[in-house]
Amino acid sequence: MRYDNSKVFKDENGTQYLNRVEYPVISIQDSDTIIRGQFGKTFSNLAFEAYGKPELWWIIARANNENKGSMYVAPGKEYRIPQEIGLILQQFKELNK
């Protein structure tokens, strides 16, 4: 889903690559829930539990300013889980047309 709208480009050597993916700013909402990270859990696990779609892991990572490259959450750390993802997904689509 995340790359569904990505355009494929070719450079002068014929090498294919995807365009840069832009992400929306995910503002804090009253409907957001807060959870504590558990050992061994990943952002994909959290997205599956919250949305039924592990590929939406980037929403939770972005909402929590997690861009360190690790898919694992920190045990005991609080994470914000956006609940109203329709607008986030719409903004994502608009940014990546």
Whether residue 43 lies inside any domain: the answer is: yes
Tens digits of residue pLDDT in 6-32:
667 777 888 877 767 889 999 999 999
With respect to residue 31, please indicate whether it lies within any of the assigned structural domains. Answer: yes
22-31 b/e (C-beta count within 10 Å ≥ 16 → b): ebbebeeeee
For the domain that residue 87 is a member of, what is the CATH number?
3.10.350
Residue 1 lies in a domain: no
Residue 5 — very low, low, confident or very high, per pLDDT cuts 50/70/90? low
Determine which helix (DSSP H) or strand (DSSP E) holds 96, and give its type and residue range: none
> Residue 1: is its pLDDT beyond 70?
no
What distance in Å separates the CA atoms of residue 58 and residue 71, rounded to the nearest whole number? 10
Residue-wise pLDDT for 34-61, tens only, equals: 999 999 999 999 999 999 999 999 999 9
Question: Residue 2 pLDDT more than 80?
Answer: no
Q: Is residue 74 assigned to a domain?
A: yes
C-alpha span between 66 and 79 (Å, rounded): 10
Q: How many domains does the chain have?
A: 1
- Specify if 63 maps to a domain: yes
Domain-located, residue 59: yes
Segments forming the whole domain that contains residue 25: 8-95
